Amino acid sequence: MVSQANILETLRKVYDPEIPVNLVDLGLIYDVYVDDSNVVIKMTLTAVGCPMHTVISQNVKEAVEALDGVNEVRVEIVWEPRWNPDMISPEGRIALGMT
């Protein structure tokens, strides 16, 4: 059975096409819910009008679907809480030269 930790590790390989930091370290992944082999990912984007929202959502879905033991993946884009740069992890800050 797939775990939340497996999914988060996989999502560390998925990047925002405009920012050289993975989605987890950017703070865009809000929740990962695993129910047997079905996964729901709640995430946000850096801006409400992000032109890459479809591509990013599809990349997340495809990456998690590729994991053994995953049957169905649903990606939900949410806007609350609103993303801000304070949500970037220490690793993401280093990658962006913010420290």
The CATH number for 44's domain is 3.30.300.130
Which range marks the domain in which residue 41 is found?
A: 4-84
pLDDT digits (tens, 9 = 90+) for 8-62: 999 999 998 889 999 999 999 999 999 999 999 999 999 988 888 899 999 999 9
pTM above 0.85, yes or no: yes
What's the structural domain count of the chain? 1
HEC secondary structure over the chain: CCCHHHHHHHHCCCECCCCCCEHHHHCCEEEEEEECCEEEEEECCCCCCCCCHHHHHHHHHHHHHCCCCCCEEEEEECCCCCCCHHHCCHHHHHHCCCC
Within a domain: residue 92? no
Dist. CA 17–CA 60, nearest whole Å = 12
